[in-house]
Structure 1
């Protein structure tokens, strides 16, 4: 007997309970079986690992060599673990003759992207050098989205991943807001006030992307709670979305502002037109009060907003460089129209096709790092990057995938709205996230720590387009037959 054992007292023995017919008593649960139980829970609900992939994006990775062929982050490692887990579950289900794989349409569309990049890599001037690009595109646009598609089964899985996006956004938004308020951010307009979160000055777009994802996730969760009559939860999610506006503003990312505005508008219009109008009025009034009245963001945000309307007529230096990179990508494609020059080959062909005024790189500093010159290794436009490196073959495959995801997800939201008079908020979150990504691809491409989140968004959209996701109520599980 030890101090942890209860005191022994004399008790009258209770009569034995009659044994239940046809049902055996469950075996006692041992503490040694806890790791096995944890693994079993993970196998039954791999969406928990998908949520971990999202949260690991926030782990700082320090200064990175942008010229390196491959950047491996903790989120990348977790995403490959998700691929392995879902692949093992799918293989086991096939071997046992039960369980479902991805829909045929999804297999064809994702397979088309794989074939397109494989053809471009084989036709490359140096296939061995294009191998890293082939692996990266396969990971981001094929393997991880399919694993996400397999890991999502019901509204709870969907809510878990959207909650992880919101959590990551709140973390990065808090760090970014502190950087702006204390002047410890990245270099911008003569100061160090640009909010970049934990990603550093070499990846100034990353924080704005994470915050935008979280804002759209919070909007969808708020609409879902509102439709379910949970007013307190809806208010909490709405306040979280409002809190993310400030760090998004001080990221000074014009592209993220445009993409977020377009995504919110599309999500609200498909969900509730009257709510969209009220939201537009409220946002305008809040912007006037916060920026004009209280001076939040000051002249920097106002100047950045006004520059959006002048990029066509009198663009600043960063915008003119981007225009020149787009011209360069178009010229490369004209010389290699069918299969492009191969993945990761754009930098090798850039100087031979670029205008003379194109800068050799962009200056970065601040957020704990010294001055550095970042080379321009891509056209900063995903569609033009695919066109120049994979030609018409690759662009056709990507266009088919993106359009199928967009129209499929929108169709599910509209179908739910027609059936109930109001679409579910989770479907609005999916269409909003996909809209943001497609608009973002107009001025950015893959690269950096947050690249794996592109896979998460595509997987969520695939779930919405092909498997009738959170826009529909989950069906009740079929009870197992009782033992005789």
Structure 2
């Protein structure tokens, strides 16, 4: 049979090895996400690399977040786009008002400036950068997937620490899972594992048919597996926040899906903790210590309540503007009870015994109230409440329509709920601090973005 002659291909696409031109949503449009991915992953660097003992004031993740902000500004100038809508600008910029007022009214404004920079970075600039750099649901999933990767790395490290007895010191044994963060940042691993667990769970609950068949069951397995390192962190506040966030997300998936998921989680908990006995006795004792405030309380519990009381006393002294950013540590001794210890003991995970000073109330809301007063607390709570309510409202509207990006809404609601609850037992500090800004940005993208997000693809 004679061969059929075909004309040569045009020069623009000549040659069988020529790469196809990327689509508008291809890799060329994704490169601005690289600083965000770096911001998420860089906190995993071992604490020894960062200098130990909490590391330097500015870590690699902070530098990456700064690059993300600069990339965002550069794109806005180059593309000549309007940065934010009116509602998004108001909600995301509102906390800056309280930060500025607390700095100006502080007894030493110069000493408060580092606090102003830090607060603006975490609660204004990084969330805005995330909000603007995310163009669609696929970008959201890339950043959320980075959270899962970070959680898996830290979770595996934490479980290894528990099994081999190389973790942080807990009840006389070096078994507490802290990942690469070390005992000086005892909440670091628990925080990132919780983020990853919630992001994986949201992926597992995404709309059927909107993802490859293997993705949802794999995400479910990862979410269940991350329960183990989360449990071995012995972080009571993180346990509570994660449980509340999971329940909130499940409640918005529908009754049938929620009951099925709760049954799976319950069975997994029985098998992991009851069947294999993974720290069951210590876990039970740790959980019970939360309520033991008046009778033989855990030292960390009594210290925390003493610092909460001190924060309340500072607020009563300066109710409108607080004692100023970074002012809690300076005013602590004048307001704390004599029952407050001088610090907490940390050891293990490659670190010698050391005494770590208690310089914050371990409650973000009380920290803001004491340092920024009612003005600052109202501004911050107003912003966060608007993001959370907006995310829940939009998810409730999207679910009946079988929205292709339903998993993004579930992740946004779960992460924002977790952050809101966890701040009852923790505040900012350490290399994972900047991740709070990433979480706020993800939630804000879902809650406050433009209406055309309803047409995002499922890819």
Q: Does 1:47 align with 2:33?
A: yes
Q: 1:144-203, CA deviations, whole angstroms, 9 ceiling, x for partnerless residues?
A: 110000110111101100110000000000100000000000000110000000000100
Indicate yes or no: 2:278 matched with 1:296. yes
Q: Distance in 2 between matches of 1:272 and 1:422?
A: 16
**Secondary structure of 2:392's partner?**
helix
Cα distance between partner residues in 2 of 1:366 and 1:460: 35
Residues 266-310 of structure 1, C-alpha deviations (whole Å, 9 max, x = no match): 011112222222222332233233322321224212222333444
* Residue of structure 2 in register with 1:389 after alignment: 371
Change (3 A) 1:398 1:305: same
- Paired with 1:137 and 1:280, the residues of 2 have a C-alpha distance of 37
Root-mean-square deviation over aligned CA pairs: 2.6
Separation (CA, whole Å) in 1 of partners of 2:35 and 2:405: 28
CA 1:119/1:404 → structure 2, altered by over 3 Å: closer, same or farther? same
Is the Cα–Cα contact under 8 Å of residues 333 and 389 in structure 1 kept in the other structure? yes
Is the counterpart of residue 25 in structure 1 residue 12 in structure 2?
yes
Match of 1:353 in 2: 335
The answer for the alignment partner of 1:81 in structure 2 is 67
Give the paired residue count.
444
Deviations 1:348-385 (A, max 9, x none): 11100111111111000000000010001111100011
Partner deviation per Cα, 1:232-274 (whole Å, 9 max, x = no partner): 2111111111111111110000111100000000011112222
- Is the CA contact 1:154–1:470 (under 8 Å) kept in the aligned structure 2? no
Deviation sequence 1:46-86 (CA, Å, 0-9, x none): 123212210111112325455x9x61111111000000000
Query: Which residue of 1 is the match for residue 154 of structure 2?
Result: 172
Look up the SS of the partner of 2:319 in the other structure: coil
Unaligned runs of 5+ in 1: 1-13, 32-39, 477-484
DSSP-derived class of the 1:25 partner = helix
Change (3 A) 1:328 1:227: farther
Deviates further, 423-432 or 224-233: 224-233
Output the CA distance in 1 between the equivalents of 2:343 and 2:209.
49
Query: Could you say what secondary structure the match of 1:283 adopts?
Result: helix
Match of 1:223 in 2: 205
Name the CA distance, whole Å, in 1 between partners of 2:251 and 2:396. Answer: 10
CA distance in 2, matches of 1:272, 1:416: 12
Classify 1:468/1:309 alpha carbon distance in 2 versus 1 (closer, same or farther; 3 Å).
farther
Moved more, 333-342 or 186-195: 333-342
163-172 vs 423-432, greater mean Cα deviation: 423-432
Correspondence for 1:188:
170
- Cα distance in 2 for partners of 1:42, 1:74 equals 25
For 1:216 and 1:187, locate their aligned partners in 2 and report how far apart those are by CA, in whole Å.
Answer: 27
* TM-score under structure 2 length normalisation: 0.91
Distance change in 2, residues 1:319/1:132 (3 Å): same
1:341 Cα shift?
A: 1.1
CA contact (8 A) 2:158 2:229 kept: yes
**SS at 1:322 equivalent:** helix
Cα deviation, 1:401-429, whole Å, max 9, x if unaligned, reads: 01100000001100001333998122111
TM-score (norm 1): 0.86
Q: Find 1:426's aligned residue among 388, 408, 411.
A: 408
Taking the aligned partners of 2:42 and 2:347, their CA distance within structure 1 comes to: 25
Q: Give yes or no for contact 2:33–2:139 (8 Å, CA) kept in 1.
A: yes
What is the aligned partner in structure 1 of residue 23 from structure 2?
Answer: none
Structure 2 counterpart SS, 1:82: helix
CA distance in 2, matches of 1:266, 1:469: 24
Q: Which residue of 1 aligns with 2:393?
A: 411
Name the CA shift for 1:229/1:460 in 2 (closer, same or farther; >3 Å).
closer
Q: Provide runs of 4+ in structure 1 moved above 6 Å.
A: none
C-alpha distance in 2 between matches for 1:428 and 1:312 = 39
Q: Deviations 1:4-34 (Å, cap 9, x if unpaired)?
A: xxxxxxxxxx997497xxxx83799xx9xxx
State the secondary structure of the residue aligned to 2:353.
strand
Query: Which residue does the alignment assign to 2:42?
Result: 56
Gaps of 5+ in 2: 19-25
Which is greater in Rg?
Answer: 1
Query: 1-side partners of 2:163 and 2:451: how far apart?
Result: 40
